[in-house]
Amino acid sequence: MRQLFLLSCLLCLLLPVSSSACSFPAIFNFGDSNSDTGGLSSSFSIGPVNLPYGETFFGFPSGRFSDGRLLVDFVAGELGLPRLCAYLDSLCSNFSRGANFATALSTIVPQNTTLPLGVYSPFSLDVQLKQFLLFKSRLQMVYRKGGAYKDLVPQEGYIAKALYTIDIGQNDLTALYFSNMSAEEYLPNALKEFSTVIKRIYRLGGRYFWIHNTGPLGCLPYVLVQVPLNAARLDRAGCSILFNDLARRFNSLLNETVVQLRKELPLAALTLVDIFSVKYSLISQAKKNGFEHPLRSCCGDGSSKYNYNSNARCGDTAMKNGIDVLIGKSCKDPTKSIIWDGVHYTEAANKWIFDQISKGLYSDPPISLSSACYRNPRKA
């Protein structure tokens, strides 16, 4: 891992330095709960609808699966843009600087068991693309008619100048594991669908893409408590070897997909960010980075080693002596925790991760977020 880090630093020195930072007037985000700013909770009234979700930054549940801000919030802040409204949130409808189509439990490949009767979001990546297409088509009507809505939508030309951020794939790995499909069958199909979405956005005028690979799934408490594990199945950080290897396979195929997209989309600037390495580095060196108990959830009912219980999750309540009592409680100091609720990261962890990736040290090409409009100078 350190060799890759040093190689990235060396490549940074070899790349030509731009005289100016990119100017992205808007962000359009696609993804799952890692970047959902309120889509799922607005649609189904489930998820982070109770405190302590949002307690650290917002002071109330903001629709985010964290105690505070997500990576996409820090991306927007770095670019001088406001936090993104969820496309599905009727109470947050200012899309002048972009929109967020991500929803928790979303997958790349559409699933047969979707909410409210199943376990996955009906807003898979292809549906998020359709929502973007509808959004774009309605912009033309607003541009023609003007009126009160003109200040609530992106200006003409923003579609081509915007940054398109994508963070999805984690739920596909859990869907794959608990399905009858093989990785050899499922993963190529998922990456083919992913590629199709990127190409469609490109044909619509999108040029700048900031893509996250998937994180170390095997380090998350919801995986560690639900899958029988023994010492031989855990690595030195205490993470599941099986699930992390599955994430690595997905990431390897994603890398190949991006390389091919660079060949097919000559005007696109595609930056692939190695989220897996950053998050694993944080977890495996938690104490060095100022965190404690890296595999234990901050928010939970305290009933297990990892503080994760699928029947009593963060924010859940239960009736005790006729009173509705909070049983999924936050830890004393979320700023010392990496994992928030067994599945997602705390604001403190998200901030630490963003500080690493924003500089380009974990990116291919190794350019900073503010330079993401520049195409890879190396031939794919």
Residues 6+ apart with CB under 8 A from 108: 124, 125, 168, 169, 172, 190, 191, 193, 194
Q: Record the tokens describing residue 185, joined without a space.
A: 């069958």
Q: Are strands 208-212 and 363-364 parallel, antiparallel or unpaired?
A: unpaired
Q: Alpha carbon of 297 to those of 58, 107, 119, 275, 300: distances in Å?
A: 20, 24, 21, 20, 7
CATH class of 27-291+343-370: alpha beta
CA angle, 274 then 280 then 283, to 5°: 145
- The whole-angstrom separation of Cα 194 and Cα 116 is 25
* Alpha carbons 349 and 220: distance in angstroms, whole number: 13
Give residue 7's pLDDT.
Answer: 45
Tokens of 179: 């399905």
β-pair type (317-320, 98-100)? unpaired
User: Locate tokens 């993470």: which residue?
Assistant: 239
Q: Residue-wise pLDDT tens for the chain (380 aa)?
A: 444 444 444 444 334 344 489 999 999 999 999 999 999 999 998 889 999 999 999 999 999 999 999 999 999 999 999 999 999 998 888 999 999 999 999 999 999 999 887 899 999 999 999 999 999 999 999 999 988 889 999 999 999 999 999 999 999 999 998 888 899 999 999 999 999 999 999 999 999 999 999 999 999 999 999 877 687 799 999 999 999 999 999 999 999 999 999 999 999 999 999 999 999 999 999 999 999 999 999 999 998 899 999 999 999 999 888 899 999 999 999 999 999 999 999 999 999 999 999 999 999 999 999 999 998 544 33
Tens digit of each residue's pLDDT (9 = 90 or more) over 42-89: 999 888 999 999 999 999 999 999 999 999 999 999 999 999 999 999
Answer whether 277's CB lies under 8 Å from 362's CB.
yes
Q: Determine whether 344 is an active site residue.
A: yes
| Arithmetic mean of pLDDT over the chain | 92
pTM for the full model?
0.93
pLDDT for 376 equals 58
> Tokens at residue 346, please?
């705390």
**33 carries an active-site annotation:** yes
Q: How many CB atoms lie within 10 A of CB 116?
A: 9
**Helices and strands, number each (H, E), in the chain:** 11, 8
The one catalytic residue in 8, 32, 33, 301 is 33
- Is 364 one of the catalytic residues? no
Active-site option among 8, 73, 344, 370: 344
Give every CB contact of residue 83 below 8 A, 6+ residues apart in sequence: 37, 69, 73, 76, 77
pLDDT given at position 149: 87
CA atoms of 182 and 374, how far apart (whole Å): 37
Please state whether the peptide bond connecting residue 116 to the residue before it is cis, i.e. omega within 30 degrees of 0: yes
Angle (nearest 5°) at CA 201 between 169 and 93: 85
Query: Exactly one of 32, 341, 363, 364 is catalytic; which is it?
Result: 341
How high is the pLDDT of residue 291? Answer: 98
DSSP 8-class letter at 303 = -
Residue spans of the domains in the chain: they are: 27-291+343-370
